[in-house]
Amino acid sequence: DVLDPERLIQCPYNKYHRIRACRFPYHLVKCQKSYPEVAKKLATCPFNARHLVPKADLSDHIAKCNDKGFLEQDIVNQYSGFQREQLNPVSTWQAPPCDEDWE
């Protein structure tokens, strides 16, 4: 299951590292510092910072990345929400006249 926090993910810096999904972001930061030469060769996916791929493969990854769909759906949802706001009539309520005289 992709959402299982206990599933094991292979580290992009060291293929022998298998990390639980819930710890993966912390591991990436640590391993990036430990393997600076490998880090120079990897690029970060613009849709998911956990996706580190060789720089040469980035455009192919972007075209196929599953997380791109989530971002596109968020944009569609925000746009349709904006359209609904535009369709809602503006309130015509006005405050009643005030009978008090403070002077």
Q: What is the pLDDT of residue 52?
A: 95
Give pTM, 2 decimals.
0.64
pLDDT of residue 21: 94
Give the pLDDT score at 87.
60
- Please tell me the predicted confidence (pLDDT) of residue 83: 58
Give the pLDDT confidence of 9-50 residue by residue, as tens digits: 999 999 999 999 999 999 999 999 999 999 999 999 998 899
Radius of gyration for the chain, computed over Cα atoms and rounded to the nearest angstrom:
25
In this predicted structure, the answer to whether residue 68 has a pLDDT above a threshold of 90 is no
